[in-house]
Every structure is written in C-alpha cells, then in structure tokens.
A = this chain, B = another copy of it.
C-alpha cells in the first residue's frame, strides 16, 4: 500500500502529434479562465472577466485581520506587517495589463501539456498598494543581497516537488521605479477577490503572471540566486528538456481583436453582416510602449496600420486601436499584430519552446459574412 508523491505528479511532457486535449488539461481549463474576448471593450477588466491562473488551490481567507506579511533575510530590521500597517505606508495605484506566460500554449504544435490557453489569458486592472521599495527601505537591505524571494500561501505538488508557490526578482527590479513593484491590497478600488490573491499580492508591471505572487505572506532578501522550482525548473524557455534555459520575464507584445459581429455558440466563428465595421481591440508589451498595430483581413497577406490611442498616462496597460473595414459576403480571417518601441513584434510563425511560454503568435479570427438576405 506504499504511496509516493510521484503517484500524483507526473513529469512535464509534450502532446503526441494527434493527441487532443486530455482530461488533465480540461480540468485546468474548467477552473482557470481567460478574458472572454468581447470584454476587451472594458478599460479595466472586472473580477470574473480578468484571466485567472492558480497553480494549486485558492487559499481560503475569510478574515484577513490575522494575515501578516514578513520581510526577512538579509535585512537590518525584519518586519512583520498586518494590513493596517501596510495601509499606513504611501499608497500607489497603477493600471497594469497582466498576461499568463503560457498564453497561446494550446495552439502550439507540438503542444506542451499544461493549462491549455488559446489567446485569452490576459486582463487589465488598477492595483492599489505599497511600493515594494518602500518596504525594503524600511527593513534595510544588507550589502550582499542579490534577489528577493516572494512566498505565497498556495501549496501543492508539481512534477513531484511539494512546495509553496515561490518566485524571485533580481534586487534591482524589486527596488525599481520603472516599473515600480507593488504589494497590492486592492483591485479596481475594492479588496482583492480571493482568486486574485486576497488579501495581498505582488504586482510587477510588464512581467508575465508567474511573477505576480498571490496570497503573499513572505518577502525574503537573499544573498544567492534563488533555485526554487518555479524559478529554475518551470518558467524557463528551453527547446530541449536538458537545457538550463532562459528565464521568462517580461511580456512579449500582443494585439487582440474584439471579435466583431456575433458568435456561433459552438464554433465561436464570428458572423459579421455585410457593410462597414470598425475593427478594434487592445495591444500591449511589457518591454516598451506599443508603437504600431497592423491589421489583416485576408489571412495575413496584406496588413494595414491601425489608429492607436494614446496611453492616457498608463504606460503599463493595454492601448486601444481601431481600423475601419468593409465586410463583404464570404469567409475572412482577421489578425492584428503589435510592435513596440524596442522593435519587438509578433511573429507570423509560431515561436516554440517546451513550456509554451511567451508565445505571441498573431491571433486568427474566423469570420463568416453571410449574403445580405441571410441575417436579421
């Protein structure tokens, strides 16, 4: 009757050439959720529309009066702060677009077996909290420090390794002001919803979701680089399993369309009546401001530059774009492609790695434009 953690927990793998979505991937897809793409219309994504990815269980914290954040490790004065202590620090609100590092994974061939996102693992919110640099300043970082390790209250096992969810940031990022990392206690002006980290989470503008540690309970300053599972095993860009790989960090540029017209329930194909349509959507990059969005209505053969809205003083949030189009009867494939000020752009062929990370292949939206007498 002996049992081991490994009986519950298999190694990472790629799907076979003809292997469709499995029960394990489906179980993740039914509990985590993306942004329904029509919700790209909201500047700020309400809870339940903003994407959510939770590795383990969502911790149950019905009462946050006994929640403590500790700042420990290579600091002169370790801190133990409750929510009232944190609210006494200067408060900052930042509008931030977050995206899962695995967004787009289920479209890859071969498909890495994990949370099977198509393109919808994104959301934008206003996060309110304390700049991390102020907390680190209060604790006093010692001279030999190189990184800061963040620990959440979410606990589970992954590829045989039992763990609390933990991630680290380089010290310069943790202390930085561009972006400024937040220990956040509010989302869109309200206390954090349970699935977004109630009562406390990290927000690292411009970085993929794996850095945004939720249910934050410990901040530890360390003198050696962190070697935990989520840093050294997961969230690395590798083509071969035995490579050390490159860490996943900032969000690659992406544009998404608000799907025009109306959907078919099952295929999600869009039905667009003939005539003029404004195609619009959002675009973002964690590397630099988005400077160009191009749109194709013919499956990528020709591209047309969209009008891009100013960032409105929100450099870490998505920007709106729009372009007029005339739908004519027949089938069409719509795409949008973002480019940022540093020249990062979206590839037309899939960028592939074993984790399916930072994959920003352009979206393809199938549209059927019926003959005029066929729609209401």
Contact = CB atoms under 8 A, between A and B. Distances in A.
Contacts of A326: none
Contacts of A271: 5, 8, 156-157, 162
Interface stretch (A31-39, A136-144, A201-209, A298-306): A31-39
A239 interface: no
Given A38-B58, A329-B1, A371-B4, A49 B262 contact: no
A8 B259 CA distance: 14
Contacts of A21: 20-22, 25-26
Interface string A253-290: 00000010011111111110000000000000000000
A57 B262 contact: yes
Contact of A269 (B9, B60, B155): B9
Contact of A156 (B32, B120, B262, B331): B262
Nearest to A39: B58
A106 to B, nearest CB: 6
Contacts of A375: 5, 162
A88 interface: no
Given A27-B118, A266-B114, A48 B157 contact: no
Contacts of A369: 3
A346 B359 CA distance: 44
A245 to B, nearest CB: 19
A54 interface: yes
Contact of A264 (B42, B106, B156): B156
Interface in A314-362: 328-331
Interface residues of A, number: 82
Contact of A30 (B7, B8, B56, B120): B120
Nearest to A234: B265
Contact of A117 (B30, B50, B120): B30
Contacts of A328: 1
A113 interface: yes
A264 to B, nearest CB: 4
Contacts of A37: 31
A3 B155 contact: no
A307 interface: no
A189 to B, nearest CB: 12
A71 to B, nearest CB: 23
Nearest to A11: B266
B267 A194 contact: no
Given A49-B195, A328-B1, A331-B3, A266 B9 contact: yes
Contacts of A113: 266
A368 B1 contact: no
Given A2-B329, A31-B34, A269 B374 contact: no
Contact of A265 (B26, B156, B262): B156
B26 A116 contact: yes
Contacts of A310: none
Contacts of A232: none
Interface of A: 1-5, 7-10, 19-22, 24-34, 36-39, 41-42, 46-50, 52, 54-58, 60, 62, 106, 113-114, 116-118, 120, 155-159, 162, 193-196, 259, 262-271, 328-331, 368-371, 374-376
Which 7 pairs across A and B sit closest by C-beta, in order of nearness?
Answer: A20-B20, A33-B33, A48-B48, A8-B269, A21-B21, A1-B330, A29-B29
